[in-house]
Amino acid sequence: MERNIARLAATVLSGLLLVALVLGYWQLWEAPALAARANNPRPYEEDQRVQRGRILDRNGVELARNGPDGTREYTYPGLVHVVGYHSPRFGSTGIEAAFDPYLRGLRSGDPIQRLRDHLLHRPTVGADIRLTIDAELTRLALEALGASAGAAVVLDPRSGEVLALASSPYFDPNQLAEQWEALRQDARAPLVPRATEGLYTPGSVFKIVTATAAIDLGKVDLTAAHDCTTDLIVDGFRIEQKNHPHLRRVTFAQDFAWSDNVTFAKAGLGLGTSGTIDFDDRAPRPYPWEREGIGRSVERLLDYAHRFGFGEQLPFDLPVAVSQVGSRSSFTPVELASTAFGQGELQVTPLLMALITATVANGGAMPAPYVAIEARRPDGYVEQLHQPGRVLRRVMQPATAAAMNRLMVQSVEEGYARPAQIPGISVGGKTGTAEVGPGHTPHSWFVGYAPADRPRVAVAVVAENRGSGSDVATPIGRRLIEAALARHAASTSEAPPTGGVDGLAAVDGEPRVTSLYCPLPARG
C-alpha cells in the first residue's frame, strides 16, 4: 500500500514538474517570441487600456494622438523618422519608442493612483511629449529636398535644440500595415532615418575639421599668400589643382572658400611636421612629411575628428549611427591626404555635420543636441527633459573658432558657397561635392549658419547623387536658414537679424543660451 502511494506521489510530482518546465519554457524562454507574434492579442489588449499621450511640436501642433478607435494617428507623415510609430504588431520607433514609459503613463502621475486605476480596470493616461521640432520648418525642408533622397538638419547652435530633422524619402505611418512589405523591399530605403542614421561621404564639408586642426595647432599663417597652381603627387597619386583656375596667388582662407584639395591634402599631411605648413608651389622638396613621416599628422587629424564626434556614439534622444574616419588602424600618405580633403573612408551623419557647423558658430563649444523638451502629465505637472545650452565638449580654442568663422563667411562672400548669401545677413557656410565611386553622381552638401556674428541657426543639407554642392544643397540651405530665422523672429518678437560683422559674440567666453520655445498651455 505504501509502495503504491509512493509510486502515485512520484507520478504526480513528475507531472507537476513537467508542467512547471513547460510553463517556464513558454512564459520565460519563448515569452518574447510569443509577444511578438502578429496573432497575439495581449499587446493590443494592453494598448487598449492605455490612453497614450500626445506628441507635439514646439508650438503645440499635434503630431501623434489616439484616434476614436484607440489606434494611433499621425498628422505629419513627413516627421515619421522623428515621431516614429507605435503599433502592437510592428512595435515602436522614434519618439514613440524613446519616451514610451512617459507616453504609456508609467513615468507619470501618482503610483498609488496608477495601481488603483489598474485594479479598477480604468485606462491609464499617459503624458504628452513636446518636441523642439518645428513641424512647418520640417515640411519646408522636405519640400526643398523634393524628389532627392537625402536629409536636412536645422538646429539652434546655442541651446542644442533640433528644429528640423528631415529625411527623404519617408512613408506614412498611418498606412504601416498595408505598406509594410513594400516598404521593406523598397530600394530607396524609406524606412531609414537618413538625418540621424544615414552615413555619407562628406566631401569638402569635412575641410572644417582639417582647417580647425591646422589653425588650432598653429600650423597655418592665415595672413600669408602663396602660389597655388600645380597638382600634388603623393606616392604616385595625383591630386588635381582645379578648383580656382582664376586665382594664382591665394591665402589659406581663399583655399577654403574655393575648396582647394591640394592645399587641404598638404594641410593633413603636414599637421604633425615641424614648423608652419608651406603651401606654395615652390616649397622645398622633399616635403616635410616625406622626411619626417606622417605618423604624428595622422594622430592629430584623428584627434580633431574625434573631438568633433567621429568614432563615438552621439548622445541624443533618437538612435544615431556612429560616424567614422576610416576602418584602418593606420593610414598611408594617400589615405591621409584624401581624408584631409573629405574623401577616403569617411562616413558621417547629417546630424553630426550640423553639430560640427554649430560648434564653429558656438565659439568652439559643441552643444549637446536634443529633440524632446518636456513631458506634461495629466495632472498638469511638467517635467523638463533637457537643459538648454549643455556643452558636450570644447573642441577648439575661441580664437580658432573666430578664425573659422571668418573662413566660413568668406566662403559665402566670395567662394563656392555664394548661393547661400542672404541680403542684410552675414552667413557662414561650406559646400561639398562628395565623390561616391565611379559611375555615380556625387552627393551634394552644404553646411552653414547665420547670422555669423550672433548665430541663431545652423543647418546641414545632403542631397544624394545630385552633384555640385553649390548648385543643389546650398540653395536648399539658404532657404532653410531664411525660414528658421523668420520663424524665430516671429515667435520671439525679436527684430529680424542683420549681418556683416566678422567674428563671434561668444569668443570671449561661453555663449549665452536662450531657449527658443514658449511654454505650452495645459492640455484641455
pLDDT tens per residue, the chain (524 residues)? 667 677 767 777 777 777 667 666 766 666 555 554 545 555 455 566 778 999 999 999 999 999 888 799 999 999 999 999 999 899 999 999 999 999 999 865 556 665 665 555 667 889 999 999 999 999 999 999 999 999 999 999 999 999 999 999 999 999 999 999 999 999 999 999 999 999 999 999 999 999 999 999 999 999 899 999 999 999 999 999 988 888 899 999 999 999 999 999 999 999 999 999 999 999 999 999 999 999 999 999 999 999 999 999 999 999 999 999 987 768 999 999 999 999 999 999 999 999 999 999 999 999 999 999 999 999 899 999 999 999 999 999 999 999 999 999 999 999 999 999 999 999 999 999 999 999 999 999 999 999 999 999 999 999 999 999 999 999 999 999 999 999 988 877 665 555 433 333 332 333 333 343 333 333 33
> Within a domain: residue 502?
no
Which residue's entry shows cell 541663431?
456
List the one residue out of 101, 98, 102, 94 whose CA is nearest residue 173: 94
What are the DSSP E strand ranges found in 262-340? none
Cα–Cα distance, 194 to 206 (Å, whole number): 18
> Within a domain: residue 269?
yes
Helix crossing, 398-414 with 350-361: angle to 10°? 110
Cα–Cα distance, 431 to 447 (Å, whole number): 7
DSSP 442: P
**Backbone dihedral angles phi then psi of residue 381, each to the nearest 5 degrees:** -70, 135
pLDDT of residue 349: 98
pTM beyond 0.75: the answer is yes
> Within a domain: residue 471?
yes
Cα–Cα distance, 414 to 56 (Å, whole number): 41
> Within a domain: residue 55?
no
Cα–Cα distance, 411 to 418 (Å, whole number): 7
> Within a domain: residue 500?
no
Give the DSSP letter string of 106-123. TTSS-HHHHHHHHHTTPP
> Within a domain: residue 330?
yes
Cα–Cα distance, 417 to 427 (Å, whole number): 10
410 contact partners, CB below 8 Å, separation of at least 6: 253, 254, 256, 257
179 contact partners, CB below 8 Å, separation of at least 6: 171, 172
Cell numbers at residue 13, please?
Answer: 510530482
- Give the angle 305-95-165 at the CA atoms, nearest 5°: 50
pLDDT of residue 85: 98
Cα–Cα distance, 270 to 411 (Å, whole number): 23
Chain-centroid distance of CA 74 in Å reads: 23
Cell numbers at residue 451, please?
Answer: 547670422
Cα–Cα distance, 58 to 155 (Å, whole number): 13
Domain that holds residue 288: 203-369+390-492
pLDDT of residue 22: 65
Cell numbers at residue 273, please?
Answer: 611636421
> Within a domain: residue 291?
yes
Structural domain count of the chain: 1
Cα–Cα distance, 148 to 433 (Å, whole number): 15
> Within a domain: residue 184?
no
How far CA 52 is from CA of 73, 134, 326, 509, in Å, comes to 11, 22, 43, 44
Produce one character per residue of 336-356: b if its CB has 16 or more CB atoms within 10 Å, e if not.
bbbbbbbbbebbbbbbbbbbb
Give the DSSP letter string of 166-212. EEES---GGGHHHHHHHHHH-TT-TTS-HHHH--B--GGGGHHHHHH
CATH number, domain containing residue 355 = 3.40.710.10
Q: Are β-strands 457-463 and 150-155 bridged in parallel, bridged antiparallel, or unpaired?
A: antiparallel
